[in-house]
Amino acid sequence: MIPFFSKFKFEDYTSYKITKGFMVAFLLSSFIYLEYFGLESRFINTIFILIAYYLLVTIDKKSLFFAGFFTGLLWFWWIGYSLIYYDLAYLIPFVVLFFGVAHGVFFWFTAIIDKALVRIVMLYLLTFFEPFGFNWFKLDLPLINTYFNTYESNTTEPNLKINIPSYNIPQDRKWDTRFVNEMIEINLKNIDNAIAKGDDVVILPETAFPFVLNNEKEILEILKEKSKNISIVTGTISQNKNQILNSTYFFENGTYQVANKVVLVPFGEAIPFPKFIANFINDTFFNGASDYSKASEPTTFTIKNVKFRNAICFEATTDEIYQNLDTHFVIASSNNAWFTPSTEPTLQKLLLRYYAKKYNLIIYHATNSSPNMVVR
């Protein structure tokens, strides 16, 4: 009996491997939740991430799969929320499960050649892996709030009074045509308040005007007139023949300029598959809606002689939007009502810090349904 039982080790039980994988995922994800609850600590984050990195290199492959599975859940459990607004809430569990299994496979694959040095290299390369163009998983992101982040910038803010009004409009209300006039009134009131304060620039969030603005000549004329008193940056939708674009309009001195989104949200604004598959998915799940079109290159606005790179939501957390950058200032706009309440705005904020550090930027972030901020 004794030799028989001696063949069994506690480590062989799947439940132990699941628990071990979860602990790694917890350590790897804690920086998001500490930030979310306002408990961020450089000391705790540093200790947790060092332990997490060590375990990622040393644990067995089965535990590594579960580490990836739970990491995918803890980072991206919110990602199916937007399906509620397409009457596809029943798909949310499958989307969440997909992100868990996918990250489990990614982690497991890093140990396909089970040598420590090879695994280190594979884990490092995983940071650059962007399946379907989705790049929000970065293994070096947890370092942003640790003692390893010693970067200091001497970039100072421009000499402009910048007003970023707060918005908290629920997603199901935002696109309801019954509330369009209310949305317009809110926007115009915020612009007037900024004018009354003597501000130089007012920045409204992504799709603050939730309709095709270039088809609404009356609203365009109102904004052009108000821009004689203040520079206005606002998110909206544009239409160019059969193309629909997610846009930012910049009004100044009675004229305006349009910047269209360059990097579309995979599966949110464009299906990253061949056209016949994309059409099938759009017809089946999204009532025949078409993908958004995109611009070929980023746009830089010059506001009162100061250059600002424009970025709309997801693209503010991509390298593409910062190509050929000729300024240290960025205006980013988001509509986080798609995913609130959740940790999505927190992860977005951490990613904006990541890119602000990488490119030595100051980012002015105007949002709906999450706090505005200036990322230095």
Strands 373-375 and 362-368: antiparallel
R_g of the chain computed on alpha carbons: 23
The reported pTM is 0.93
Q: Which of 27, 18, 29 is nearest to 64 (CA)?
A: 18
User: Which token pair is 117?
Assistant: 């040095």
Q: Are residues 166 and 249 in the same domain?
A: yes
Q: Say what the pLDDT of residue 307 is.
A: 98
Please name every residue paired with 309 in a beta bridge, in sequence order, or none if there are none: 300, 330
Under the banding of pLDDT at 50, 70 and 90, the label for residue 13 is low
Catalytic residues: 206, 261, 313
* CATH number of the domain enclosing 217: 3.60.110.10
Q: Mean of the pLDDT values across residues 50-60?
A: 97
Q: Are residues 279 and 310 in the same domain?
A: yes
Q: Are residues 180 and 128 in the same domain?
A: no
Domain that holds residue 102: 12-145
Per-residue pLDDT tens digits for 281-318? 777 777 767 789 999 999 999 999 999 999 999 999 99
Under the banding of pLDDT at 50, 70 and 90, the label for residue 9 is low
Kindly state the percentage of the chain with pLDDT values over 70.
96
Q: Mean of the pLDDT values across residues 143-156?
A: 86
Q: Say what the pLDDT of residue 2 is.
A: 46
- Burial string for 96-127 (b: 16+ CB within 10 Å, else e) reads beebbebbbebbbbbbeeeeeeebeebbeebe
Question: What DSSP letter does each residue of 38-81 carry, written as one string?
Answer: T---HHHHHHHHHHHHHHHHHS-HHHHHHHHHHHHHHHHTTTTG
The tally of domains found in the chain comes to 2
Residue 315 DSSP symbol: G
Least confident of 59-73, 139-153, 174-188: 139-153
Q: Which of 145, 176, 199 is the last residue of a domain?
A: 145
Please name every residue paired with 236 in a beta bridge, in sequence order, or none if there are none: 247
Q: Say what the pLDDT of residue 14 is.
A: 83
